[in-house]
Amino acid sequence: MTVEQSPTETLQAPARDWFQRAVVYQIYPRSFADSNGDGVGDLRGIISKLDYLHKLGVDVVWLSPIYTSPQDDNGYDISDYRDVDPLFGTLEELRELTDGLHARGMKLVMDLVVNHTSDEHPWFIESRSSKDNPKRDWYWWRQPREPDAGASPRRGAEPNNWGSAFSGPAWEFDQATGEYYLHIFSKKQPDLNWENPEVRAAVYEMMNWWLDRGVDGFRMDVINFISKDTSLPDGPIADGKLFGDGTPFYIDGPRMHEFLQEMHREVFAGRTGELLTVGEMPGVTVEDAVLFTDPARAEVDMVFQFEHVALDQENGDKWRPKKLQLTELKETLGRWQEGLAETGWNSLYWGNHDQARAVSRFGDDSPQYRELSAKMLAGILHLHRGTPYVYQGEELGMTNMSFGAISDYRDIEVLNHHREATAHLGHTDAEVLAALAPLNRDNARTPVQWDASRHAGFTTGAPWIAVNPNANHINAAAQVDDPDSVYSFYRQVIALRHAEPVVSHGDFTMLLPDDPHVYAFTRALAGTTLLVLGNFSGTQQDVTLDGDALVDWGSAELVLGNYPADSGAPRLHLRPWELKVLRGGVARPDR
């Protein structure tokens, strides 16, 4: 080596580069493919679709939890971190899946749910057994407070006023020992106490066990909840709410960076393989994300931020949806691009198992524009700087589901909210159903639509949640070999990232921030500039670029577009929901 490099650079530069070029595909196993007819997707179902994923071109598969679980929150409540739930298969089948992915050049990222366990995990069973059990302090146990100690009269004796993310208080009283335990999510998901070093050691040991078995990294569930303000203060209570908002006190607590650095040291440091870590971090700010993802700090590779998926809600309340403004979407995503331009790295997503379907939310899922807008959204997202995530079915342009009665829903978040809103907040069933329709999580959890047969080819049995009736025309069988399909468009977008360093590594510059319909930006790297234009409307748009656009785009090459072969339409004119990616290079002579 002639150039002097610091040891960090030598070790980290090549390792980082791979995930900057990569595309991740998320599988929600319960809804992906069912091999045994019990109506629930399983590992063997996934194994049968590996060629489908390979053809799509994705580099990494993130598997939502398949561990042993009572399934209170569809597997995000784990009772054994080192085994596979029989609902999904066996450890041997997981090995087969890992090998099958590796053989096709893909990697496997596991979901790591360690802010909480299931209440049926042996750790919690021990912890609740007595006040002096050695594992008592592995969870957050607190005495009841006096019912009249300043709390609202509607409240009981919980240690503080925090509400659970799944409605009701964040505390559950345990008769056996007369104390409450904390659960930010359901009462079957008690929060682990990361202040206790034994908890941390047990988690790191488990993570090492999985990496030693050949998995390639972790998507870390609500990982910024693991450090809490240990004084557990009351949070503010908003109008019309029964419980306080504890989020300021359990998000990004004082030891957050310390815990992630320790995890990195204990689990990842010294491993030479290409591994991926992504922390799910509700409420994370861009300033903090720089710290979390700065490679020099050795915490995580990237985070999932939530700002752009809160713009269509009043005060971030998903049960009070409002119309999305494109200008706000651009401001938000642009700020994240800028914030992580020099240091750190972005993850890019429109949807996942907790969000509405991308095309229904950000595009137009009407028959006229569904395909065009799904393709446009793919192009816009994947051309940003960062690692894109595709949520199962997004590559088919799958849409939100129109559920009927509350009995059609399966998600604990929806069911608990409906109960609280109708029983305690005075809303009618019809009001609640209408409000929760656009953004509820079950929209994303209907089965993947493989073909037009009964139950969309997902199962031969009775599916655990209804299949979207539009499977008769929106399905994989109709799309995989059709060069004009949404699936084929995703293939092109993914291939473009792999082929063009400017897509993975170029600088990002947002254009036209105030335009209410057009999303426009450039990417630039070493003499190559791409102009990316997306029309977020069903009307024609003419794009006028100001002096910052250095290139004569009128004659630029069209690298990617979502309309049939360009018929000489002016380059800077966009048809409804049109996407154009133009390659420049020729600077205007007068500049």
**Residue 349 is a binding residue for ligand GLC (CB under 6 A):** no
Give the Cα separation of 363 and 370 in Å (integer). Answer: 7
Phi-psi region of 168 (alpha: psi -120 to 50; beta: other; left: phi over 0): left
Among residues 354, 371, 395, 578, the one that binds ligand GLC under rule CB under 6 A: 354
Percent composition of the chain: helix, strand, coil (DSSP 3-state, to 5): 35, 20, 50
Residue nearest to ligand GLC (CB): 76
**Residue 113 is a binding residue for ligand GLC (CB under 6 A):** yes
**Residue 401 is a binding residue for ligand GLC (CB under 6 A):** no
Looking at beta carbons only, is 76 or 489 nearer to ligand GLC?
A: 76
**Residue 73 is a binding residue for ligand GLC (CB under 6 A):** yes
Nearest alpha carbon to residue 87 among 118, 27, 45, 26? 45
Looking at beta carbons only, is 47 or 222 nearer to ligand GLC?
A: 222
**Residue 72 is a binding residue for ligand GLC (CB under 6 A):** no
Looking at beta carbons only, is 136 or 188 nearer to ligand GLC?
A: 188
Site for ligand GLC in 211-230 (CB under 6 A): 221-222
Nearest alpha carbon to residue 295 among 256, 264, 338? 264
Spatial CB neighbours of 320, under 8 Å, sequence gap ≥ 6: 313, 314, 435
Q: How far is the CB of 278 from ligand GLC (least distance, A)?
A: 12
Give the Cα separation of 248 and 1 in Å (integer). Answer: 49
Query: Residues in contact with ligand GLC, total (CB under 6 A)?
Result: 9
**Residue 519 is a binding residue for ligand GLC (CB under 6 A):** no
Among residues 67, 185, 194, 319, the one that binds ligand GLC under rule CB under 6 A: 185
**Residue 42 is a binding residue for ligand GLC (CB under 6 A):** no
**Residue 119 is a binding residue for ligand GLC (CB under 6 A):** no
Give the Cα separation of 544 and 574 in Å (integer). Answer: 11
List, by residue number, the catalytic residues.
221, 280
**Residue 301 is a binding residue for ligand GLC (CB under 6 A):** no
**Residue 394 is a binding residue for ligand GLC (CB under 6 A):** no
Tell me whether residue 39 is exposed, middle or buried, using C-beta atoms within 10 angstroms of its C-beta: 0 to 12, 13 to 18, 19 or more: middle
C-alpha triplet 72, 73, 74: angle, nearest 5° = 95
Site for ligand GLC in 278-297 (CB under 6 A): 280
**Residue 411 is a binding residue for ligand GLC (CB under 6 A):** no
Helices (H), 385-517: 412-423, 429-436, 476-479, 486-499, 501-505
Looking at beta carbons only, is 73 or 288 nearer to ligand GLC?
A: 73
Looking at beta carbons only, is 246 or 457 nearer to ligand GLC?
A: 246
**Residue 76 is a binding residue for ligand GLC (CB under 6 A):** yes
Site for ligand GLC in 355-384 (CB under 6 A): none
Q: For tokens 């997004």, what's the residue? A: 394
Q: How far is the CB of 475 from ligand GLC (least distance, A)?
A: 25
Residue 219 token pair: 């998507």
What is the full DSSP assignment across 54-109? HHHT-SEEEEPP-EE---TTTTSS-SEEEEE-TTT--HHHHHHHHHHHHHTT-EEE
Q: What is the DSSP letter of 451?
A: -
Q: How far is the CB of 74 from ligand GLC (least distance, A)?
A: 7
| Residues near ligand GLC, by CB under 6 A | 73, 76, 113, 185, 221-222, 280, 353-354
